[in-house]
Structure 1
């Protein structure tokens, strides 16, 4: 395996995908009680909304394959979500982007992407993974 997936490729590729989708990128900020609109470059930045996109993508990928994309996220107080993406250890550029695209499609509305909805994608995949692990094995 290589040294990981280059964030310098993931971030601008996500930016282009978001721009081409022509949807408003929204985030319901609990602290300010406001819905904020993000430009695609801010949304795709490692210190922007990228941690949310990648966390949802990782859950989708783990549910599908049983393997993590190896997303490393660290707390960072001066960022939008309080986190920043450090690196991606697993998978390939293609697998990361396919999982991100799936996450986007699961939350996409005709004219908007509400980034907060990515937590539902993550929770849904996590719940299905947990149920699958508890399911009896047929004999």
Structure 2
């Protein structure tokens, strides 16, 4: 009988140990998994935070560059406006000498004569269309048309 009590206690201990181990592993397994998920989430959050900080820094730098370019453009436009408002010697009309005026008039009369010659040349038909016609587009005499 002693050996029967020993076997029953062994079986009872195994059953109790099985359920206790299952309960302990269930709690620690889920906790370990949750802890791992939390660590992963924290790492992802830190990486996202670094990306946002870098993005904001680059946006701030671009904004300062745009402001600088706008300031330089305003200065350029202001300087250009001042230059145009001032009367300068180089803005005064140029005075031509009599010799220069004569040569300009002479060049204009020569150009006008050349234009007159070209207008006369326009009144005469080109050699391609001279009479009597030869080729496919020769006009048909009226006597042949009546047939």
State whether TM-score is above 0.5. Answer: no
From the two aligned structures, give the one with the greater helix fraction.
Answer: 2
From the two aligned structures, give the one with the greater strand fraction.
Answer: 1
Choose 1 or 2 for highest CA Rg.
2
TM-score w.r.t. the length of structure 2 is 0.19
Task: Give the number of the structure with larger relative contact order, counting CA–CA contacts within 8 Å between residues 6 or more apart.
Answer: 1
TM-score w.r.t. the length of structure 1 is 0.20
